[in-house]
Amino acid sequence: MKKAVELSIPSVSGQTLREQVWESLRSAILEGRLSAGQRLGEVDLAEQLGVSRGTVREALRRLQQSGLVVGEDRMGLRVTQQSAEEVVELYEVRGALEALAAVHIVQSPRCDELVDEIEAKLPAFEPGMTLNERLDIDLGFHEALCAASGNTVLLDMWRQLQDRMRVAVLADESDERPRLMDTDYHRPIIAALRSGDSERARHAIVEHMRNSGGVWQKRAQDPRDIVGIE
């Protein structure tokens, strides 16, 4: 491994040992204690966590499935590094998923009720909140939108992207980041949903994601630009 990292297994009732190891490694990646590009050795991790190599291997495979870890077992695994171009693509995929969710919501006979529930999730931040806490609220709004669509496959696909999006947002050090999580930046989505116009709702989501992805667009022109939590 690249550097010594303090890891521990969280004590969570009902979790299997494999789930606890997965949660420990996932948290270390999302919090930056395991940095982008850092190699992950089964032996070292097993020793630090006091578990078998097999348990660590299963947790790493799950992290591979979510896109947080890449590589081949025999060649060595490492924490994913995302290029700016890949982040732009993530926003494009999110735009497609959330736009479809918006259309489902507008066409639902429960549209007004659903939009009320989504509006209650509009990002609102208290002074002193950490970036991770703000990001939880921001992503919670978008997850609520997908859940309101009633399409469980769509929601599952969105959730599979969530960790990679979290890494990307936390890696963004631009001045634009606070604005992109602001309440007012999300209000046009609510207005479009309330309009009852499916095309307007779809367009509002696509533009929201396009503008967010635009922060990375210029970086995507440089193939050397790799992003991750530092």
* Tokens 């259309």 belong to residue: 103
Q: Is pLDDT above 70 for 7? A: yes
Longest dimension (CA), the chain: 57
pTM of the model: 0.80
Query: What is the reported pLDDT for 14?
Result: 53
pLDDT tens, 29-83?
A: 988 788 888 899 989 999 999 999 999 999 999 999 888 999 866 668 999 888 8
Pairwise CA distance, residues 33 & 5, whole Å? 6
Element (H, E) at 83: strand 82-83
Q: What is the pLDDT of residue 229?
A: 38
Using DSSP's 3-state secondary structure scheme, residue 224 falls into coil
| Residue 35, pLDDT score | 82
CA distance 105 to 100: 9
* Dist. CA 68–CA 167, nearest whole Å: 9
The answer, yes or no, to whether residue 1 has pLDDT greater than 50, is no
In this predicted model, what pLDDT tens digit does every residue of 106-127 receive, in sequence order?
999 999 999 999 999 999 999 9
Q: Going by DSSP bridges, is the β-strand pair 69-72/76-79 parallel, antiparallel, or unpaired?
A: antiparallel
Find, among 188, 183, 162, 36, the residue nearest to 93 by Cα: 162
Of 47, 40, 68, the closest CA to residue 229 belongs to: 68
Mean pLDDT score of the chain, rounded to an integer? 87
| Whether the predicted pLDDT of 222 surpasses 60 | no
**Is the pLDDT at 228 greater than 60, yes or no?**
no
Please give the sequence-ordered ranges of beta strands (E in DSSP) within 65-170, or none if there are none: 69-72, 76-79, 82-83
Domains, in order of start, for the chain: 17-80 (1.10.10.10), 83-227 (1.20.120.530)
